[in-house]
A and B are shown apart, each in its own frame.
Chain A
Amino acid sequence: GQQVMQIPQYQHVQEGEDFTTYCNSSTTLSNIQWYKQRPGGHPVFLIQLVKSGEVKKQKRLTFQFGEAKKNSSLHITATQTTDVGTYFCAGPKQGGSEKLVFGKGTKLTVNP
């Protein structure tokens, strides 16, 4: 079945270091979405990418959608302690469904 895979599962960095999480889908996606879940919190929508090769920036966060629309990445420049949390990517379930298929997430911890 359709799968969305994320690596790494965990990432620990020193404050100020960069961080990247990668998302790979077993199928071509019409769009990809990224969510952030703080410890003890709920997923919060960050961004949606739609176009092949699209790159979007939100302050220190850079999101990229691959040319084949099967992979994506989230890069954080100069991490801060406020970046701590689990980052999930998600894509629409195959077949035009309203459902999303989530990756298992990358848990980021930042050492001050």
Chain B
Amino acid sequence: GAVVSQHPSRVICKSGTSVKIECRSLDFQATTMFWYRQFPKQSLMLMATSNEGSKATYEQGVEKDKFLINHASLTLSTLTVTSAHPEDSSFYICSARLADTQYFGPGTRLTVL
């Protein structure tokens, strides 16, 4: 149980384009999902909290207009990186909350050329 999927697993895009990443809880409903960013050999950096049916809350320093989050259903949250630039290249991981625990998706490696 508690399986979270993410799609795509890898994406390469040109600078200036937008990229959408999907996060799905497959066998449970999640009113709250989280989006993290992880740089090589570093810990997880929380970007935002995604709440079903309401606006996401962003951590300090994270541009909400650049990282658009939509949590349209109890099993799906999407992160759209708008007008991507090379510095946005990173490993993006979502998690879905079940009770007190977060279950992570497999991550999306974004490379912006």
Show the binding face of A for B, using Cβ within 8 Å. 31, 33, 35, 41-45, 48, 88, 92, 98-100, 102-105, 107
Contact = CB atoms under 8 A, between A and B. Distances in A.
Nearest first, the 8 A-B pairs at minimum CB distance are A104-B43, A42-B107, A43-B104, A42-B104, A42-B106, A102-B44, A102-B43, A98-B32
A94 to B, nearest CB: 14
B102 A100 contact: yes
Given A43-B44, A88-B44, A92-B100, A99 B34 contact: yes
Interface of B: 2, 32, 34, 41-44, 46, 49, 93, 95, 97, 100-107
Contacts of A42: 93, 104-107
B104 A98 contact: no
B21 to A, nearest CB: 13
Nearest to B32: A98
25 contacts: A33-B101, A33-B102, A35-B104, A42-B106, A42-B107, A43-B44, A43-B93, A45-B2, A45-B102, A45-B103, A45-B104, A48-B100, A48-B101, A88-B43, A88-B44, A92-B100, A98-B49, A98-B97, A99-B49, A102-B43, A102-B44, A104-B42, A104-B43, A105-B43, A107-B41
Given A41-B106, A98-B49, 19 more contacts: A31-B100, A33-B100, A33-B102, A43-B95, A43-B104, A45-B102, A45-B103, A48-B100, A88-B43, A88-B44, A99-B34, A99-B46, A100-B102, A102-B43, A102-B44, A103-B43, A104-B42, A105-B43, A107-B41
Nearest to A50: B100
A72 B43 CA distance: 18
A111 to B, nearest CB: 19
A92 B97 CA distance: 12
A48 B99 CA distance: 11
A69 to B, nearest CB: 14
B40 to A, nearest CB: 11
A102 B59 CA distance: 14
Contacts of A88: 43-44
B57 to A, nearest CB: 9
